[in-house]
Structure 1
Amino acid sequence: MEQTFNDYFILLSALLLIIGVLTTKFSSRIGVPALILFILVGMITGSDGLGFIPFDNPQMTQLIGIFALIIILFEGGLQTKWTTVKPVTKPALSLATLGVILTAVIVAFAAKIILGVTWLEGFLFGAIVGSTDAAAVFAVLKGQNIRERLGATLEAESGSNDPMAMFLTISIIQLMVIDNPSYWLLIGSFFWQMGIGLIIGLLLGKLATLAINRINLDSSGLYPVFALAFALLIYSLTDLIGASGLLAVYVAALVIGNSDLTYRQSIFRFNEGFAWMAQILMFTILGLLVFPSQLMTIDVIVKGLLLSIILVLVARPVAVFLSTINMGYDFKEKVFLSWAGLRGAVPIVLATFPMLAGIENSQLFFNVVFFVVLISALVQGSTIAMFAEKLGLTGPKKVEPPHSLELVSIGKANAEIIEFEVNKESDITNKPLAVIDFPKDVLVNAIIRSGELITPYGETEIQVGDVLYILVSRKSKKRLKEMLNQD
């Protein structure tokens, strides 16, 4: 009997992963974010659907959700270029802090009236839906040709505002369940969580980079696992001392991803795939936890729609316009930032906190939050690209290179293959290879030009847009990168 259950469980897991992967392709064709389809898979197969997976465990959902968020934030931080994020650090942090508070306050007033709850419960609801979602934003923006500055702002905001929403949610729950709470202690807790989370992220990010580069493992496949282990370690150590583990993970990932890293592409590709798996698992589990018969009631639909309208058309725009005053964004850009404030897994995961704390209206909150997230992902997520185009905020179309070449670090030979795309400012542009003064232990292995592979010879002239794959010893890597004017 037990063996039969195990077989069915493994079979069902395989089917869910296959459906999840195929869903990503299907979602791009119909213009619906994949997370919506993942959630629908969970709802259909759950206890209140076909009944294939009986599930009603908020505590397990919360654990899986936080674990998945660690992986998603880590992967997002690894892929984020500091040169892109640095110019938008100030507005992103303003949106991640002041923006979340303003959104929570405005929604709180609406929740008090629409849901008929107490003021404190209204602020709790506002805090839960106050932040944008990293998983949703990263997934929806990937591959879109939205202006780089706007995309960087949204990604940096979504990667750093989860700690604020979590802090507000937990703090308000404490105010509701503790007889004589200390407001000064909560204020001190905020600065502790954010400040220490930032410091630990920076320090352990540098330590992780040093460890990855210095250690010589027997298998290249162990390096991605080693990097991911640091992400989990950073979260747990930071959270154990009462600081923001999610912030620490995102900051550490920024440090690691923007450092000179051995086995860089292996680490990136592994974490990209693992992050997709985490998204599939998380949104499916969230779908399993909700009961459609409770969600699709007139009461929840009406209240959810009203709160969604206020969140999208009032609270988020007010928060964006006030948080980005004198920060160089014009009216159209602020309108777009307002519309692109996607809600996703984080509000749903946060909605499990009141359930576990035994708050009176926790089930109502969960159902309405879930409905708000569905509306946000379905309406906003499916129209972001169109909205950017209508406002004239699109940049050059992002095209994936048609070639595929795995970049590796050759540990035994103490050498690496690196990639370099030639631009107009490059000193080697329009020069034959024979006259370029490369270091002695450097060899240009291949050139990709307009999607075609070119075998390099001495008389081969380097052109703008060429992608060079260069074999270099580690001791000459720094000199080569200086020569190529790489950051």
Structure 2
Amino acid sequence: MIESGGSTDAIVLLAGILLIVGVLTTKFSSRLGVPSLVLFMMVGMVMGSFVYFDNAKIAQMIGVLALVIILFEGGIQTNWSSLRPVIVPSLSLATIGVLITSGIVAVAVKFILGFDWLEAILFGAIIGSTDAAAVFAVLKGQNIKPRLGATLEAESGSNDPMAVFLTISMIELITIPDLSIFSLIGAFFVQMFVGVVAGLLFGKLAVWGLNRINLDSGGLYPVFAIAFALLTYGVTAFFQGSGLLAVYISAIIIGNTDIAYRHSIFRFSEGLAWMMQITMFVILGLLVFPNELFTAGNLMNGVLISFILILVARPIAVYLSTIKMNFSHKELIFLSWAGLKGAVPIVLATFPLLANIQGSNEIFNVVFFVVLISCLVQGSTITPLAEKLNLVGPKVSEPTHSLELISLGKADAEMLEYRMEEGAEIVGMSLLDIPFPTGSLVNAIIREDKLIPPTGNTVLEAGDFLYILAPRKHKKQIKELLEKKKDTKNEEQVG
């Protein structure tokens, strides 16, 4: 058996084995219909038979670092045009929804586990938010209707600060009985305000740095972007703000702005986010001892609390926090069922352990079991439920090929990737007739996963992926040309 403080060689070997097993696990998860997150945790629990690990502090540090990377990747992948219409319901779910969910779960925990009210509310706070890692992983590549997908992603990306605040506040109330609840409420608004401002500032700063600073290698740009994510979290947290919220906001700004080496940054962030997900869930699995987790009491309590959370608390929270927001009954059912739990509740469950709160071991084990049930039951049925409720939109194809200018960062050119939308003015035109800026060249067209060698007579179609090599100074002009819509009024008058 390997101890957690084993030799460096053993730790490196173990890390390699865990990552390889984690990567291979993602392949089997789709075939088995089980979310990969569940299998990651299972891998950690199995490895726990050979590796002794009980350091909650290290697990918490790894968890927070992983969440920063995962939120950053989720943020840069978020389309602002899809997010903007759902900001109000998403924020309502992320705040009011979390409070309602936490409150209902707290009442259930009070009577099921026999906790004091403060401890019961602490449990509710830990389990009250949906999890960004779980939601991003389950929805990635699915064709859920854009409005619903955007709502869930925005909610999961922005509700972590509320869960963190509630958890820390309840721990402080338990450990410091004389603490004023009004001071905690004031601290919450300060955290949110600082988080929003920091996110906006660091997002703009990151865009400026990526576009203005010429690095010696194109491979440094993705590292530069990740460094901004870590910097954003660290500085925001230092000034008592919500670092997770700041990271998510800054990532949205970066992802929706023209930046150098955009494709490389997206791919690097995606791979790093997967690695951090695997690491985080495996480590959290290692932290659990199966003989303590799978006891009759934990099984019964976990199933009861999961039942109340999934079928009572989450639906009530969704329906109440989205009143008069134009969601249909079917959409509300789907939003209720898609309130996935994941790494955040488990990471938050380490806080009471480190604070030596009475009953913290029981809290951790039951929270872990509830998360396991949520990922297994809800995560594996989200897509079938969406299909059953007719909430599945048309599939949007993604290119299976990628081109990028591989050169020194000082080159004054960039490979632009763009998907032609229906209704664009240049759809139906030949490349020869399109007024591309001087020095711009369409290098490749991907159409239905097939490479179309471009010639002057090639006619563009909706859904085509264009790869255009162009001087950086013409990026804005090319984007305007590609996004310009047809003047339908003039066409109707001519007709």
Distance in 2 separating the partners of 1:323 and 1:225: 39
**Is contact 2:110-2:116 (8 Å) kept?**
yes
Counterparts in 2 of 1:142-181, with a 5 A limit? Answer: 142-181=140-179
TM-score (norm 2): 0.95
Find out whether 1:22 has 2:24 as its counterpart: yes
Deviation at 1:459, TM superposition (A): 2.1
- Aligned residue for 2:239? 241
Distance in 1 separating the partners of 2:23 and 2:165: 33
Find out whether 1:68 has 2:66 as its counterpart: yes
Find out whether 1:197 has 2:195 as its counterpart: yes
Alignment partner for residue 47 of structure 2, among 24, 45, 48? Answer: 45
Distance in 2 separating the partners of 1:259 and 1:370: 38
Distance in 1 separating the partners of 2:307 and 2:472: 55
- Aligned residue for 1:89? 87
Q: Output one character per residue of 1:265-323: Cα deviation in whole Å (capped at 9) or x when no partner.
A: 11111111110010011000100111110110010100110000000000000000001
Deviation at 1:428, TM superposition (A): 1.3
Find out whether 1:265 has 2:263 as its counterpart: yes
**Is contact 1:422-1:429 (8 Å) kept?**
yes
Deviation at 1:145, TM superposition (A): 1.4
Deviation at 1:374, TM superposition (A): 0.3
Q: Output one character per residue of 1:332-379: Cα deviation in whole Å (capped at 9) or x when no partner.
A: 100000000000000000001111111101001000000000000000
Distance in 1 separating the partners of 2:212 and 2:399: 31
Deviation at 1:109, TM superposition (A): 0.4
Question: SS of 2:285's equivalent?
Answer: helix
Distance in 2 separating the partners of 1:230 and 1:400: 27
Instruction: Name the aligned partner's letter for residue 186 of structure 1.
Output: L
Instruction: Name the aligned partner's letter for residue 39 of structure 1.
Output: M
- Aligned residue for 1:456? 454
Aligned residue-pair number = 483
Counterparts in 2 of 1:79-478, with a 5 A limit? Answer: 79-406=77-404, 411-478=409-476
Distance in 2 separating the partners of 1:403 and 1:363: 48
Question: SS of 1:484's equivalent?
Answer: helix
**Is contact 1:94-1:323 (8 Å) kept?**
yes
**Is contact 1:75-1:268 (8 Å) kept?**
yes
Instruction: Name the aligned partner's letter for residue 133 of structure 1.
Output: D
**Is contact 1:262-1:409 (8 Å) kept?**
no
Distance in 2 separating the partners of 1:408 and 1:155: 32
Q: Output one character per residue of 1:202-257: Cα deviation in whole Å (capped at 9) or x when no partner.
A: 01110111011110110111111111111111111111111100000101111111
Question: SS of 2:200's equivalent?
Answer: helix
Distance in 1 separating the partners of 2:422 and 2:177: 66
Instruction: Name the aligned partner's letter for residue 381 of structure 2.
Output: T
Q: Output one character per residue of 1:171-206: Cα deviation in whole Å (capped at 9) or x when no partner.
A: 011111113101221111010011110111001110
- Shift of the 407–317 alpha-carbon distance from structure 1 to 2, 3 Å rule, reads farther
Q: Output one character per residue of 1:126-163: Cα deviation in whole Å (capped at 9) or x when no partner.
A: 00000000000000111111111111100000000000
Distance in 1 separating the partners of 2:299 and 2:347: 20
Question: SS of 2:414's equivalent?
Answer: strand
Q: Output one character per residue of 1:12-48: Cα deviation in whole Å (capped at 9) or x when no partner.
A: 21111110000001001111011111111111111xx
Instruction: Name the aligned partner's letter for residue 169 of structure 1.
Output: T
- Shift of the 249–354 alpha-carbon distance from structure 1 to 2, 3 Å rule, reads same
TM-score (norm 1): 0.96
- Aligned residue for 1:31? 33
Q: Output one character per residue of 1:423-481: Cα deviation in whole Å (capped at 9) or x when no partner.
A: 33222121222222221221111222232222222222222222221111111221111
Question: SS of 1:471's equivalent?
Answer: strand
- Aligned residue for 1:10? 12
Q: Output one character per residue of 1:404-438: Cα deviation in whole Å (capped at 9) or x when no partner.
A: 43466864330111122223322212122222222
Instruction: Name the aligned partner's letter for residue 219 of structure 1.
Output: S
Q: CA RMSD in A?
A: 1.8
- Shift of the 426–410 alpha-carbon distance from structure 1 to 2, 3 Å rule, reads farther
Alignment partner for residue 483 of structure 1, among 481, 484, 487? Answer: 481
Question: SS of 1:458's equivalent?
Answer: coil
Deviation at 1:101, TM superposition (A): 0.2
- Shift of the 486–243 alpha-carbon distance from structure 1 to 2, 3 Å rule, reads farther
Identity of counterpart residues, as a percentage? 62
**Is contact 2:233-2:243 (8 Å) kept?**
yes
Question: SS of 1:90's equivalent?
Answer: helix
Q: Structure 1 stretches of 5 or more lacking a match?
A: none
Q: Structure 2 stretches of 5 or more lacking a match?
A: 486-495
**Is contact 1:131-1:343 (8 Å) kept?**
yes
Question: SS of 2:426's equivalent?
Answer: coil
Distance in 2 separating the partners of 1:357 and 1:78: 35
Instruction: Name the aligned partner's letter for residue 307 of structure 1.
Output: I
Question: SS of 2:416's equivalent?
Answer: strand
**Is contact 2:78-2:255 (8 Å) kept?**
yes
**Is contact 2:399-2:446 (8 Å) kept?**
no
Deviation at 1:10, TM superposition (A): 1.8
**Is contact 1:107-1:311 (8 Å) kept?**
yes
Question: SS of 2:483's equivalent?
Answer: coil
Instruction: Name the aligned partner's letter for residue 184 of structure 1.
Output: F
Question: SS of 2:52's equivalent?
Answer: coil
- Shift of the 40–14 alpha-carbon distance from structure 1 to 2, 3 Å rule, reads same
**Which is worse superposed, 33-42 or 405-414?**
405-414
Q: Output one character per residue of 1:56-114: Cα deviation in whole Å (capped at 9) or x when no partner.
A: 01111111110110010011001111111111100000000000000000000000000
Instruction: Name the aligned partner's letter for residue 300 of structure 2.
Output: V
